[in-house]
Structure 1
């Protein structure tokens, strides 16, 4: 990939632009249920820390982001995430990143990151990207991006990326959390366990209840590798 190192360095620099004081101020997991018995407790909101005396360079190292993700799937995209799970040195840093590969017409479906804002840098191809703000406006902020273009998705906003070019596309995303989380909207609603009552979704989407049941029986693909 031409100039990969140069563009990745730009992406890393962009990560550094997040305010230094903006370490994960919010919960680092989906929920934290209070309990009265300490013996039943689990450690939350981060990770236990290794003694600094035992730290080594590999704790701050990840290899393989140059390897394209497999886009031979339903949505034609693959996300290779690098969060605290893959790079332990990210703990308490308040940042992570991901590589996103797109086949022709590939889509990174509408989704949200409940614990992070995102900055996207296009390395190859042409992407149509956008996000929708909250009720009642529900305004769409969308743009067509080319190599070298950058776009920001505010924390918690539903956003997407679609390859509208004639070749494959590649982008790198920086996120303002060591564990940003991801909620893919369609999957989250039609692939829950147990299923949501079809009547709820039929009314919400103004669909026939039978169609909702059909959608709930589909195979919903998750395009994120290594995602937390």
Structure 2
């Protein structure tokens, strides 16, 4: 169980050793089917290492960037990252996952907002895309709070639980985010913070100081 008394969490680069903790999360069939429409078979550790190998390769093409969400005690509680990063189109796909016992702590919105900030302010991207199953109202509400706009529906594109579901495609532009950023900063309780690094980095925490967003 996560340490719920600790309200400061950090985002750090995902390490290969983290897969020992993460792999069992995706052996839950229900969660697996909600997180990724392309994956249906639970992986063992060796298979997970192969799937994530590009993230840990020094010779990779830098099209993936993943972070672990970690408590002050070092417990890994979630993942947040960017996929399909394109330096030409200046876009990427943003994704987030929180382990079951750590849900309802407000980590998902804060960690995702920090990754979105990173994508636009550090990587110079102009657009982020995300997808969710039409019955996944938690994901729907999260991306709406980030300023994402619904851009289309892929009919019956997501098969899970013995049925075909529509897949909703959403996107957020850098300007959308800069407009939404101060609004979201005011909405979020500053008692829970997700930050880069163990001591936090000025300007790289969520929620940020409200005056930083204005």
Q: Given the two structures, how large is their TM-score scaled by the length of structure 1? A: 0.29
Higher strand share: 2
Tell me the TM-score normalised to structure 2 length. 0.31
Higher relative contact order (CA 8 A, sep 6+): 1
Identify the structure with the greater helix proportion. 2
